Structure 1
Amino acid sequence: MNRTVLFLALAGGLALTALVLGMPRGGGLPPTSHVVVTTPTPTPPVPAPGPRSSSGSLQVTSRLSHPYVPVGSSETYVTVDLTGAEVPGAKRSPVNLAVVIDRSGSMSGYKLQQAKQAARHLVTLLRDEDRLAIVHYGSDVKSLPSLPATAGNRERMAQFIDGIWDDGGTNISAGLSVGRTQLASAMGGLASVNRLILMSDGQPTEGVSDEEGLKNVVKEIRASGITVSSIGVGTDFNEDLMQAFAEYGAGAYGFLEDASKLSTLFQRDLQQATTAVARNVELSFELPPGTTLDEVLGYRAHQAGNTVRVALPDFSAGQVERVVARIHVTGIAPGQSVQVAGLKVAYTDLLVQKNVEDQSMLAAVATDVREEIVQRQDKEATVYAARARSAQNLQKAAEAMSQGKKDEAKGYLSQNQALFMEAGAVAGAAAVAADQADQTRAMQEYDDAETEEAQKAAVKNSKVKALKSFGRMGSTY
């Protein structure tokens, strides 16, 4: 892309984002059915974060990018932050764990050696009250049944790991199924958390190999009370499929170009499992008349009537996840309250072993003074919205790179620079400095990606960054 084209793209992006982030836009979908929402008093010159609720192990904070909206139809962004409670001094919970390791032919040599080393390290971190099953798969599946991690059994586990060899194709479905069976055999004991960690370096070639079929396998595992995390190693695995495993399994996703870092990810996933505070987490948006939810950025959302539901991962202590939604509202008259959304977070609280629901409400104020809309724009929510929108562009850039369209991919990154420049005009340059640096690094990685291997790595790195920018911060390694 020459400098003239890049300048025009940047200028066009700035004009577009000025409309998106500086002044809510018109348009929208037909209104949905009625929900009663109360109204906060919109008096502070700089709006504070929205309602906070915490009747259980999750703290929920919500805010609007535009607490003041114009008369007529416009859009605003809702951000909802969920944070797992810290439990100082608490003893970590026992865990019922299964590690499912790909040992197909493509894992031969260095990658399998590192996977075995990571598994051995994981065994050393377990306590007597924990349980571990070890599963490895190629065309067939071998497993060590779930055992308490006593000193004697840890030695047995280490010997089993040493005996893993590379062989056969990639039968992911069989590995998942055996992992589930081993976990199920040990459920109901001391452990309140049941977790499966899947590791693979390739695409499924045997067993259930279609994506929908594999997703259904993971959904069934999750429905049985087991959380699924997935770790992709190298550049040949299907990152979209492995991300879907983690999403449907309510666990975490990680990408490692170098298998030498597997121990770190295994350890991190064990830490999340043993400090779990909430599971079966669901965020709901209740939409009042005159309000439509256009999209939940980066999450699968399901709408029924005036309710939009978003499934979230299990939460560990201190884990933070963010959801950003684009919503259309209608201001009737200056000074009047504009109902935006009622929020509900429902989950199973593992600290007190009961179901919890937290509810809060968000409302804006209509005004016919443009300066008031701009001056009262929420700085942090504006940056969060810019990040979520940049994640959409990162996904498009990754798709373009996967098709060999490097210039097109770099064009999406240029659009992101424009997004963050506009957000910086609201929140200050320091607020988006790291984001702009991320785009510069991604641009450099794309420039340097001359080989097919490097291009695949750039694609996977962009998709990981997109997940984090959408708000999947604690569930993306």
Structure 2
Amino acid sequence: MNRTVLFLALAGGLALTALVLGLPRGDGTSSPHVVVTTPLGSPTPPVNKPQGVTGAGSLQVTSRLAHPYIPVGPSETYVTVDLTGMEVPGAKRSPVNLAVVIDRSGSMSGYKLQQAKQAARHLVTLLRDEDRLAIVHYGSDVKSLPSLPATADNRERMARFIDGIWDDGGTNISAGLSVGRTQLASAMGGSATVNRLILMSDGQPTEGVSDDEGLKNVVREIRASGITVSSIGVGTDFNEDLMQAFAEYGAGAYGFLEDASKLSTLFQRDLQQATTAVARNVELSFELPPGTTLGEVLGYRAHQAGNTVRVAMPDFAAGQVERVVVRLNVTGGAAGQSVQVAGLKVAYTDLLANKGVEDLSTLAAVATDVREEVVSRQDKEATVYAARARSAQNLQKAAEAMSTGKKGEAQDYLRQNQVLFTEAAAVAGPAAVAVDQAEQAQAMQEYDAADDETSQRAAVKSSKVKALKSFGRMGSTY
């Protein structure tokens, strides 16, 4: 198989940064991309340019080291990896096999259910003849309209079914999920390459499988059957951690709406992602060489076996961007020597090429005994990304404190974030973190104004959504 190698010279002689890029092979393997930072004593590299950009499949991979120069001996650094779904200008969207699962328990009565029905009717109007849709609604029991092609006659039938939804009973999420899965499975194998379930709820499970782990297992099984699960929480009474977990284990998206009037927008956005899907079964893994150990993967569930760390990613739509930030403990050797920091692999099913792809790269730094070298050549963007991920940890802690009535403690975590972004501004400039600092100030105001239980719950959920985005879950958080 042909191999394309791109050698990018940034300076002559010893002053160079090399990128060796390989194209994926037809068998799903690829030659590695090697990123080598500029040796000691050479001109300063362009810090605003990504250290490694790879990807000949439907995903582009951009990797950065916060510290291209590391001190001799032990230290820590942050690796940031951006995954971007390929845009396909002018391409016809793919048919979708969709199921909408709507909570119609007693707590949904009135305005919320009215808005949910309106959103579902709007979703029906966006479908084409080649799409399929099943509509499921649940309280204590479950009722459903079987998966049907979205022809004009069937769209009218779907609209009539939606009009007949009424509020009743408890919240049997597991039964709603199971029926949604069954309806989707009945229509799999046709022209639709994407099978997606959208769950909407305003409350916590009260019937059926009601424990968190049991419900997560239900979603895991749905995902294992080839179906993506997205979840939308409405109001302030639902369990946001559980709904977030549904989206994570289901490789879909999570959204929080305090006002049900915006449901149509989220339904439409999830349909758009489903119909422009470019990659699924996406996994990012880090291979840690001798001298490197894992500190933490910020904001994602990671699994480590030996020297390999694996992170499951959502399915990707065209243009979708997700970021992973990892803290690593590294050991620099003799001054001037290249130090391998981590090997990266992104494996996925390329829906555009209908094959498996593996994208490989290596991140390396240069050891130095000059402290100023470490500071002056710090990557500006990677530093900001790391600050955002660290601020997200504080946001989560602030939300947990707020949920137990500890407003002062929650505000202390937000003050810590202001310090984080002030430090990042010293590296990247004030403009790079101006929006982040404004968002922290806004969160402080929201917490200060949260004087009743409802506003406190809303502040908690809003903070957790912001934390997800700051961790890097930008495309999979609505």
TM-score, normalised on structure 1? 0.92
State the alpha-carbon separation in 2 of the partners of residues 39 and 443 from structure 1. Answer: 41
Alpha-carbon offset, residue 332 of structure 1: 1.4
The residue number in structure 2 matching 1:162 is: 163
The answer (yes or no) to whether the contact 1:78–1:327 under 8 Å persists in 2 is yes
SS at match of 1:93: coil
Partner amino acid, structure 2, of 1:316: A
Distance 1:273 1:165 in 2: 28
Offset, 1:37? 9.4
**1:285 paired residue number:** 286
Residue of structure 2 aligned with 1:40, choices 13, 36, 39:
36
After TM superposition, give the deviation of residue 381 of structure 1 in Å: 0.3
Gaps of at least 5 residues in structure 2 are: 1-31
Distance of 2:216 and 2:288 partners within structure 1: 30
* Residues 84-123 of structure 1: CA deviation (Å, up to 9, x unaligned): 0000000000000000000000000000000000000000
Is 2:224 the counterpart of 1:223?
Answer: yes
Q: Any idea what SS the aligned residue of 1:408 has?
A: helix
Question: What's the counterpart of residue 5 of structure 1?
Answer: none
Aligned equivalents of 1:268, 1:343: Cα separation in 2: 31
Partners of 1:283 and 1:332 lie apart in 2 by 27
- 1:39–1:337: 8 Å Cα contact kept in structure 2? no
Do residues 172 (structure 1) and 173 (structure 2) align?
yes
- Name the structure 2 match of 1:201: 202
Name the CA distance, whole Å, in 2 between partners of 1:287 and 1:370. Answer: 25
Q: Note the 1:98-109 alignment, pairs <5 A.
A: 98-109=99-110
Q: Which residue of 2 aligns with 1:131?
A: 132
Distance 1:262 1:197 in 2: 12
Which ranges of 4 or more aligned residues in structure 1 deviate by more than 6 Å?
A: none
1:475 aligns with 2:476: yes
Q: What CA distance in whole angstroms lies between the structure 2 residues aligned with 1:82 and 1:102?
A: 33
Distance 2:35 2:275 in 1: 40
Which residue matches 1:113?
A: 114
Map Cα deviations across residues 109-153 of structure 1 (whole Å, 9 max, x no partner): 000000000000000000000000000000000000000000000
Question: Which residue does 1:299 correspond to in 2?
Answer: 300
Q: 1:50 offset after TM fit, Å?
A: 1.9
Counterpart-to-counterpart distance in 2, 1:41 and 1:182 = 52
Percent identical among aligned pairs is 86
Alpha-carbon separation, structure 2, partners of 1:165 and 1:44: 69
Instruction: State the 1:41 CA deviation.
Output: 4.2
Aligned to 2:248: 247
Q: d(CA) in 2 for partners of 1:449 and 1:59?
A: 42
- Aligned-pair CA distance for 1:39: 5.7
Taking a change above 3 Å as real, the CA distance of residues 44 and 54 of structure 1, as seen in their structure-2 partners, is: farther
**Contact residue 97 and residue 132 of structure 1 kept, 8 A:** yes
Paired with 1:49 and 1:38, the residues of 2 have a C-alpha distance of 13
1:259-408 maps to which residues of 2 (within 5 A)? 259-408=260-409
Structure 1: gaps spanning 5 or more residues: 1-35
Contact 2:79 2:382 in 1 (8 A): yes
The Cα shift of 1:313 comes to 0.2
The equivalent of 2:53 in structure 1 is: 52
Q: What is the CA distance between 1:172 and its match in structure 2?
A: 0.1
Give 1:25's aligned residue: none
Query: Per-residue CA shift, 1:205-242, capped at 9, x if unaligned?
Result: 00000000000000000000000000000000000000
| C-alpha separation in 2, matches of 1:65 and 1:39 | 14
Question: What residue identity is the alignment partner of 1:460?
Answer: K
Any idea what SS the aligned residue of 2:357 has? strand
Q: Does the 8 Å contact 1:37/1:288 carry over to 2?
A: no
Alpha carbons of 1:41 and 1:452: their partners in 2 closer, same or farther (altered >3 Å)? closer
What does residue range 14-25 of structure 1 map to in structure 2 within 5 Å? none
- Give the Cα–Cα distance (whole angstroms) in 2 for the partners of residues 51 and 402 of structure 1: 41
Partner-residue secondary structure (3-state), 1:327: strand
- Distance in 2 separating the partners of 1:296 and 1:368: 28
Q: Quick one: which amino acid aligns to residue 433 of structure 2? A: V
1:459 maps onto 2:460 in alignment: yes
Query: Structure 1 residues 44, 233: CA separation in 2 closer, same or farther (over 3 Å shift)?
Result: farther
Amino acid at match of 2:92: K
Select the structure with the greater relative contact order (CA < 8 A; seq sep ≥ 6): 1
Aligned residue type for 1:377: Q
Contact 2:223 2:251 in 1 (8 A): yes
- Give 2:87's aligned amino acid: E
Deviations 1:17-59 (A, max 9, x none): xxxxxxxxxxxxxxxxxxx995614155134322211120000
State the TM-score, normalized to the length of structure 2: 0.92
Shift of 1:364: 0.5
**Deviation of the 1:411 alpha carbon:** 0.1
Question: Which structure features the higher share of helix residues?
Answer: 1
- CA deviation profile, 1:364-412 (whole Å, cap 9, x unmatched): 0000101111100000000000000000000000000000000000000
- Counterpart of 2:207, as a letter, is E
Show the counterpart of 1:413: 414
Contact kept? 1:39, 1:339, Cα under 8 Å: no
Answer yes or no: is the 8 Å Cα contact 1:208–1:214 preserved in 2: yes
